[in-house]
Every structure is written in C-alpha cells, then in structure tokens.
Structure 1
Amino acid sequence: MKPPLLLIGHGSNDDAGSAEFGRFVHRLRCRLDQNAADVSGGYLDIAKPRLSDTVASLVARGHHRLVALPLSLSRVGEELPAAMALEQERHPTLMYDYGRPLGPDPRVLALLAERLNEAAVELEPIQEFPRLRAVTSVPVEEPVQHIELSETAVVLVGEGSTDPAANAEVHRVSRLFWETHAYDFMTVETAFVSVTPPGVPGGLERCRRLGAKRVIVLPYLLFAGGLLERVWAQALAYGAGHPDLDIRCAEVIGDCDSLADVVIERYEEALQLVH
C-alpha cells in the first residue's frame, strides 16, 4: 500500500474556504482510492482538523510514512517544516516526504485562463452579490457596450505576504499568464488582497490610467471564501467611484478534477524521489 497523502492548508476562520478544502480532500480520496492510497487533510492553524490531529490519526491507523503536500499556490516558508518537525517529535516513528507546492504549473495557469474567459463573456450586467459571476458598474437598464480584448485589462490578485519572495512569485505568475494565455488582452497587472501593495484598487487604477475600458479581476486563489469576498468588495468599492469602467470579477480556481490532477502528479513525483 502506498503511503498516505497529507494535504496541508494554512487555515482560517472562513467556513466556506474550509468546506471547499474538505470537498477537495474528498475528491482526491475518491481518485486515489483505486491506488490504495489514503488521503487526509489538516490545517497549520485555526481551522479544523488541525494538522496535529490528522497526523495522530494516521499514526494510530498504522501509517508511519507519508507524503506531506502544501495545498498552496505560493512558496512554502518555514512554518510547514517547523510544524512537521514538531510532529516527528510527537511521533518518533514518523517519516515523511514533501510534495512540491502547486505553484504556476501549466495546468494551474490553464485553469486561470478558464476562469478569465468565463468572466470575459459578453453577459448582461449582474448586480447580485456575492453570488455574482461578474461585477460591473454599468447600470442594468443600459445595453452592454462591446469591448475588444485589446481594450480589456486583467488584474491578477494574489493573497499577499510579508515574504518578498512570495510576492515576487505572484508578479512572475502574472507575466507567465499574460504570455501563455492572455496575450490578446491589453495587460495583466498584479495586485494583492492584503499585507502588501498594490491592493485591488491600485491594480484597477493602473489599468484605468493605461486606457482600459474593461478590467477583469482574476483571483490567484485556490478556494472561495473570505479572501475572495474581500477581492470582490474592493473591486465593487473602486467601481462605485468609476462608473465608466466596466469591472468584472472572475471566480477562484476551485475544487475540480484538473486541480486534482496537479496534486496527484505532485504526490507521485514525491514517491518516485523516495525510490
């Protein structure tokens, strides 16, 4: 039997994000069941199940080697290695191997392109929130103006970090995404939800000054929840003060089989490194 896959999230007080994380763990459990591989999930902080509880459960079921994979789009800092080292102190028989973070994998960029294209479709304006799929400042009674892709900019929004290298990686993703999937658009700018500038309003303002008629806010986030709501709220607030700019918000990558494909490849890659 293959060693179990342990998916590790950072954790938050956000029930919606935790629920989607749980659904994704279940999807992987179903996908890897045919390979006789157990799949569990745990959080480093705040949310449940906590990483320590999940590891204790795995060890109690007789698993003493596992693959620990951070379910993250950004680089892993010192928090995860420190947490796993602590688990080894608690369980001296425990051995583990790391799977690489998801990062700007080509399939992740392809999923971002799908979300971008969904938001770019010429739809009637939608004003329901937060269930909307597009946000626009154009009044409902007015017909939608046709806007070319060359007049449409994209703001790719990362989470934001105190780690400069993590923020630089989001800028790198923006450039990769523009060159591989969004070259017909005016530009792909970078913004962050919090911690570091520019924020979403700053990214939108740059696009406006570059002459964009429409801007699509593209969250570089795995799951829906509080962070996505903050992105939407910042975009709506900016749009209220700039009624001539059509602002749309795309969905997050989300729980899907394509994302599961990337995680399974990371898992298999970690197993091959062991052998």
Structure 2
Amino acid sequence: MKPPLLLIGQGSNDDADSAEFGRFVHRLRCRLDQRAADVSGGYLERATPRLSESVASLVARGHHRLVALPLSLSRVGEEWPAALEAEARRHPTLMYDYGRPLGPDPRVLALLAERLKDAATEMPRLRPLEAVGGRYRQLRAVDTPPDYQPGHVEPGETAVVLVGEGSTDPAANAEVHRVSRLFWETHAYDFMTVETAFVSVTPPGVPGGLERCRRLGAKRVIVVPYLLFAGGVLERVWAQALAYGAGHPDLDIRCAEVIGDCDTLADVVIDRYEEALQLA
C-alpha cells in the first residue's frame, strides 16, 4: 500500500470554503482508492479538522509515512513546513515527504481559461448583491429588462484582471504577477491585457485593476479570481468589482468563477503526489 496523501489547507472561518475543500478531499479519496492510497485533509488554522487531528488519525490507522501537499496556488510560507515538523516531533515514528504547491501548472492555467471563456459569453450585466441569511447571492444576476441584449465587444476591447488573495510576502505577490503574464501569453493573447490585482493586504486592489483597464480603453473587463474554492474571499472579489461598477455604468464588468472542485485539479494533485514519491 502506498503512503497516504495529506492535503493541507490554510483554513478560514468560511463554511463554503471548508465544504468545497472537503468535497475535493473526497474526490481524491475516490480517485486514489484505485491506487491503494489513503487520502486525508487538515487545516493549519481556524477550520476543522486541524492538521494535528488528521495526522493523529493517520498514525492511529498504522501509517508512519505520508506525503504532505499544500493545497495552495501560490508560494507557501514557512509556517507550512514548520507545522509538519511539529507533527513529526509529536509522533517520533512519523516520516513525511513534502510535495510542491500547485502553482501555475499548465492545467491550472487551462482551468482559468475555461472560467474566462464562460464569463466572456454574451450575457446580461451584473446587478447589486442581495444579502440572504447574512451571505450574498450570486453576483451575476440581472437588473435589466428580459429583452436586454449587451452590445458586442471584441476580445481586443476586453481586458482581464487576475485577482490573487494578497500576501505580506513580496515573493508570493510577485508570483501572482508572473501567473498573469503566463496566462496572457498562453491563453488570453486575444485580449487587450491581463492585469493583476489583490483582494487585500497589498495593492492594487480590485478597483485599482479595473481602473487601469478602463484607462487603457477597455469596454469590457472580466475579473478572474486566482482562487481554488468559493467562499468569503470570492464574495469580496465580487463585492469590490460591483462597487467599482456602480460608479462606472458604461464599463461592462464580468466576474468569473473560481477553479473549484474538479477532476482536472485532482489530476494536478495526483501528479504532485506521485512526484513526491519518486523524489523520496
């Protein structure tokens, strides 16, 4: 039997993010069951199960070697390997191999291109967010008449804003800028530009990215979240885009979906798992 795969998430207080993380762990468990490998998932903070609980469960089931993989698109901080070192001290018989983050894998970029294509499809424009039960509904509903038809906009008149979470680590922020350039040259070369923005912590924010596109002459801007799963961070992206759009009604602003739980993303994770085993 192969060593189990342990997916590590940052963790948040958002139930939607945790639910999609859980569904993705289940997808991988079903996929790797054919290869006789167990799959578990744990968070560094805030959400459950915590990393320590998942490791303890694997050890209790007789596993003393595992492959740990940070489920992250960007460069991870020192707290990730430090957390694993702490678990190794807590369980002296435990050995682990550390896999690479997902990063701008070509398949991840292809998934972003699919989300961009879906958002670029001619459709009615955004309407204000509607609060329901303390959360916000889908952003891309309409506030226009049923017979409204948006004017045709060429790709060369359309700009893209790739939005990362934002970090205090300059290298992590630089990586998002690198992804924007890779995405433009490999999947979005017909568009006017691909600009970079961040949800928080570091500039430019989503409004700053949209403003740059407007000043470049874009008639339409598509916001593409560089995020794995839906949740509170995605809602903040949508809310910032909508707030900017309210002051610029002549600019057609679209918001794409996150990468999400899917088989292609699972393929990337499984390849990282096999790579870590080969390098061990």
The interval holding the TM-score normalised by the smaller chain is over 0.9
One-letter amino acid matched to 1:157: V
Equivalence map 1:45-194=2 (5 Å): 45-125=45-125, 127=127, 129=129, 130-132=136-138, 134=140, 139-140=144-145, 142-194=148-200
What are the superposed Cα offsets for residues 236-268 of structure 1, whole Å, 9 maximum, x if unpaired?
000000000000000000000000000000000
- Is 1:28 the counterpart of 2:34? The answer is no
What are the superposed Cα offsets for residues 72-98 of structure 1, whole Å, 9 maximum, x if unpaired?
000121001110111011100000001
Note if contact 2:13-2:46 (Cα within 8 Å) is conserved in structure 1: yes
Residue in 1 aligned with 2:133? none
Residue in 1 aligned with 2:244? 238
Q: Count residues with an aligned counterpart.
A: 273
What 5-or-longer segments of structure 1 have no aligned partner? none
TM-align CA RMSD: 1.4
The 4+ residue runs of structure 1 with deviation greater than 6 A are none
Instruction: Give the C-alpha shift of residue 128 in structure 1.
Output: 7.4
Note if contact 1:135-1:248 (Cα within 8 Å) is conserved in structure 2: no
Note if contact 1:135-1:236 (Cα within 8 Å) is conserved in structure 2: no
Equivalence map 1:214-253=2 (5 Å): 214-253=220-259
Residue in 2 aligned with 1:17? 17
Residue in 1 aligned with 2:132? none
Cα distance between partner residues in 2 of 1:232 and 1:133: 7
What are the superposed Cα offsets for residues 180-217 of structure 1, whole Å, 9 maximum, x if unpaired?
00000000000000000000000000000000000000
Cα distance between partner residues in 2 of 1:128 and 1:204: 17
Name which of structure 1's ranges 167-176 and 123-132 shifts more when overlaid on structure 2.
Answer: 123-132
SS in 2 for 1:104: coil
Cα distance between partner residues in 1 of 2:37 and 2:240: 42
TM-score for both structures, normalised by structure 1: 0.96
What 5-or-longer segments of structure 2 have no aligned partner? 130-135
Cα distance between partner residues in 2 of 1:196 and 1:264: 32
Cα distance between partner residues in 2 of 1:258 and 1:38: 19
Note if contact 2:4-2:65 (Cα within 8 Å) is conserved in structure 1: yes
What are the superposed Cα offsets for residues 115-167 of structure 1, whole Å, 9 maximum, x if unpaired?
0000000113353745547478x844643111000000000000000000000
